[in-house]
Amino acid sequence: MALIVTVEKAQVSYVQPGLWNINMHLTATDDGVTAIDKDYSARFRNKDRFDSKAKALISAMQIDIDKYYSERFIFSDKDIDILATTVQEGLDLREPTDLMEVRGKSHQARAIIPKKAASKKSAAKKSVSKKSRK
């Protein structure tokens, strides 16, 4: 799995007198799958040198390439496979046998709503009930 990288000039746009925005496009494929497909830009003035802009663009692109490699490294770790297996084995796939069991599971699902969200709902209900009393 070798990363194949292509950098192409994408666009030069006029910003104001003496200032342009230069856009380059990076495409990186890994084993035929697109890993990075992104535009990078640098501001360019009349007196600027292209080599300084090249360094800035290389640095920005290299950050994304390094991120991709770190993601791929972690994804291919055997511990991720163990995690996926553990999660799959921990799921309860038994079908409920009666209505009470279904209701019990739906109440359990509601129990994971964060307290802030639940308190907003109860506050909204209180304000509605106060309005209805008047």
Residue 38: count of CB within 10 angstroms of its CB: 12
Cα–Cα distance for residue pair 109/30, rounded to 1 Å: 40
Q: pLDDT digit of tens for each residue in the chain (134 aa)?
A: 689 999 999 999 999 999 999 999 999 999 999 999 999 999 999 899 999 999 999 999 999 999 999 999 998 889 999 999 999 999 988 887 777 767 666 555 555 555 555 555 555 555 555 555 55
The secondary element (H helix, E strand) that includes residue 42 is strand 33-45
Cα–Cα distance for residue pair 8/39, rounded to 1 Å: 9
User: Taking the model in full, what pTM does it have?
Assistant: 0.62
